[in-house]
């Protein structure tokens, strides 16, 4: 049992100074004042600090991404310590360009490992390619029978994409939709978006030809080209979710794209943020030759949160939504995740006044306290 006393609580909406009681991995109560009645209850002083929901990162290459520059450019798997230092308490793992040497079997195994180490982890079957690489040979069975798998991934409008037809896209989205319904999951189709001029045209055509709900399509990396971004804004106005990648090399910070969306009347509750952590970024010359490669850190959402509040003067409760409640709604795990309320999972971050990370609680367990990690992955140094 954990009692956090007199913290400024952002749920993500601001609730004021509250006591928060955690018991059995869940939030038991959020009250003006709660007195500990058991000697075993650990009391954390939250005075002068901010208590927020744990960050949900919907796009991390947990088994490592990369490989576009041959075998030596494969990125290593993510560690528990890296995620915790970025305030991430829930993560969705997926594959990238390499669906050949990287397998869904390995992805699910790493997902299970992260859960065993103390955070919440989900996965998407598939990769860039089509037909989708799977665990069972069928994305429908992957979604139906593998509890960790909540969706499928595909790349479009990218020079590494499989260039599917609209009918193939419809079939994949339909399979994700139905198997998600049958298994009680969101059944999303995560779309890695490249910067080709085709942008979201294939998705628009699929929506025009069918009655597949717009919420099934989850385009990510939508800020990487002006045309794509504008089409993504229009897509969000239709009710779809769009995902902005933090920390990538570009001219603007994610906060500026958020402000641009706000100016255009885009519903902000349809925007999520992700890190693309452990995924490679690459640059190519005009002939398509690789000239530079690196990979993204998993703390970029947290860093973006600080930038939005400190540099762009966005209210904390507004900035938080893009990495907590919005994402939880998109993944259909709200209010289990993404908020601070009685009955929700106890995934909590305690921040200092300067937004530095003081403590991390995941599933009711203290993983970091007083800026020091108490829990590391099995092989973390």
Report pLDDT for 365.
97
| Nearest to 248, CA basis, from 304, 312, 201, 288 | 304
Q: How far is CA 242 from CA 102, 131, 193, 236, 314, in A?
A: 26, 24, 11, 6, 20
Burial of 335 (0-12, 13-18, 19+ CB in 10 A): middle
Report pLDDT for 196.
96
**108 and 43, same structural domain?**
no
**100 and 14, same structural domain?**
no
**161 and 235, same structural domain?**
yes
Catalytic residue IDs: 276
Report pLDDT for 83.
98
Examine residue 28 and state whether it is found in any structural domain, yes or no: yes
Facing residues of 234 across strands? none
Per-residue pLDDT of the chain (381 residues; tens, 9 = 90+): 999 999 999 999 999 999 999 999 999 999 999 998 888 899 999 999 999 999 999 999 999 987 677 888 888 999 999 999 999 999 999 999 888 999 999 999 999 999 999 999 999 999 999 999 999 999 999 999 999 999 999 999 998 899 999 999 999 999 999 999 999 999 999 999 999 999 999 999 999 999 999 999 999 999 999 999 999 999 999 999 999 999 865 568 899 999 999 999 999 999 999 999 998 777 778 887 878 777 889 999 999 999 999 999 999 999 999 999 999 999 999 999 999 999 999 999 999 999 999 999 999 999 999 999 999 999 887
Name the token pair of 63: 């088994």
Name the token pair of 85: 């230092």
**What whole-number distance in Å separates Cα of residue 95 and Cα of residue 106?**
10
**96 and 9, same structural domain?**
no
**What whole-number distance in Å separates Cα of residue 160 and Cα of residue 31?**
52
Long-range own/partner contacts, residues 314-321 (CB < 8 A, 24 or more apart) = 314/255, 314/258, 316/10, 316/12, 316/14, 316/50, 316/52, 317/10, 317/12, 317/13, 317/14, 318/268, 319/255, 320/10, 320/12, 320/52, 320/53, 321/12, 321/268, 321/269
Which DSSP state fits 74?
Answer: B
* Domain count for the chain: 2
**325 and 257, same structural domain?**
yes
Report pLDDT for 249.
55
Is the separation of the CB atoms in 346 and 366 below 8 Å?
no
Q: Residue 225: is the preceding peptide bond cis (ω within 30°)? A: no
Examine residue 62 and state whether it is found in any structural domain, yes or no: yes
**What whole-number distance in Å separates Cα of residue 227 and Cα of residue 224?**
9
**204 and 174, same structural domain?**
yes
List the domain range (segments joined by +) for residue 34.
2-53+339-373
Examine residue 380 and state whether it is found in any structural domain, yes or no: no
- Can you give the CATH number for the domain in which 346 is found? 2.30.40.10
Query: What contacts 30, CB < 8 A, 6 or more positions away?
Result: 9, 11, 15, 18, 19, 20, 21, 340, 341, 342
- Can you give the CATH number for the domain in which 148 is found? 3.20.20.140
Report pLDDT for 279.
85
Report pLDDT for 248.
62
| Nearest to 351, CA basis, from 137, 141, 44 | 44
**What whole-number distance in Å separates Cα of residue 277 and Cα of residue 304?**
14
Examine residue 279 and state whether it is found in any structural domain, yes or no: yes
**323 and 175, same structural domain?**
yes
Report pLDDT for 73.
83
**283 and 172, same structural domain?**
yes
**What whole-number distance in Å separates Cα of residue 27 and Cα of residue 46?**
16
Report pLDDT for 381.
79
**227 and 105, same structural domain?**
yes
Burial of 282 (0-12, 13-18, 19+ CB in 10 A): middle
Examine residue 49 and state whether it is found in any structural domain, yes or no: yes
**190 and 150, same structural domain?**
yes
**320 and 358, same structural domain?**
no
**303 and 197, same structural domain?**
yes
| Nearest to 83, CA basis, from 379, 381, 377, 378 | 377
Examine residue 379 and state whether it is found in any structural domain, yes or no: no
Examine residue 378 and state whether it is found in any structural domain, yes or no: no
Is the separation of the CB atoms in 297 and 81 below 8 Å?
no
Examine residue 227 and state whether it is found in any structural domain, yes or no: yes
Name the token pair of 248: 């990538």
């Amino acid at each position: 049992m954990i009692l956090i006393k007199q913290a400024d609580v952002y749920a993500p909406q601001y609730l004021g100074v509250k006591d928060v009681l955690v018991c059995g991995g869940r939030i038991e109560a959020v009250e003006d004042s709660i007195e500990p009645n058991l000697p075993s209850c650990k009391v954390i002083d939250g005075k002068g600090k901010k208590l927020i929901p744990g960050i949900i990162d919907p796009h991390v290459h947990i088994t490592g991404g990369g490989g576009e520059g041959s075998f030596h450019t494969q990125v290593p798997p993510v560690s528990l310590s890296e995620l915790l230092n970025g305030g991430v308490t829930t993560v969705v793992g997926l594959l990238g360009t390499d669906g050949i040497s990287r397998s869904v079997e390995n992805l699910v195994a790493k997902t299970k490992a992260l859960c065993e180490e103390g955070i919440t982890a989900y996965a998407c079957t598939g990769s860039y390619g089509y037909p989708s690489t799977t665990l069972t040979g069928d994305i429908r069975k992957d979604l139906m029978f593998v509890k960790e798998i909540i969706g499928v991934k595909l790349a479009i409008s990218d020079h590494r994409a499989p260039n599917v037809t609209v009918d193939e896209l419809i079939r994949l989205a339909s399979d994700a939709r139905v198997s998600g319904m049958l298994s009680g999951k969101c059944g999303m189709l995560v779309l890695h978006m490249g910067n080709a001029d085709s942008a979201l045209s294939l998705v628009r055509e699929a929506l025009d030809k069918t009655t597949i709900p717009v919420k099934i399509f989850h385009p990510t990396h939508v800020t990487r080209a002006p045309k794509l971004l504008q089409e993504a804004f229009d897509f969000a106005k239709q009710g779809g979710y769009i995902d902005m990648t933090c920390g990538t090399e570009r001219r603007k910070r994610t906060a500026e794209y958020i402000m641009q969306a706000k100016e255009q009347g885009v519903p902000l509750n349809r925007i999520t943020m992700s890190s693309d952590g452990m995924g490679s970024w690459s640059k190519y010359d005009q002939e398509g030759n690789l000239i530079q490669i690196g990979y993204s850190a998993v703390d970029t959402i947290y860093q973006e949160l600080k930038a939005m509040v400190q540099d762009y003067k966005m209210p904390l409760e507004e900035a938080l939504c893009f990495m907590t409640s919005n994402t939880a709604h998109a993944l259909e795990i709200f209010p289990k995740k993404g908020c601070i309320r009685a009955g929700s999972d106890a995934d909590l971050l305690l921040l200092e006044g300067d937004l530095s990370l003081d403590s991390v609680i995941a599933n009711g367990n203290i993983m970091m306290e007083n800026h020091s990690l108490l829990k590391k992955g099995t092989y973390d140094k």
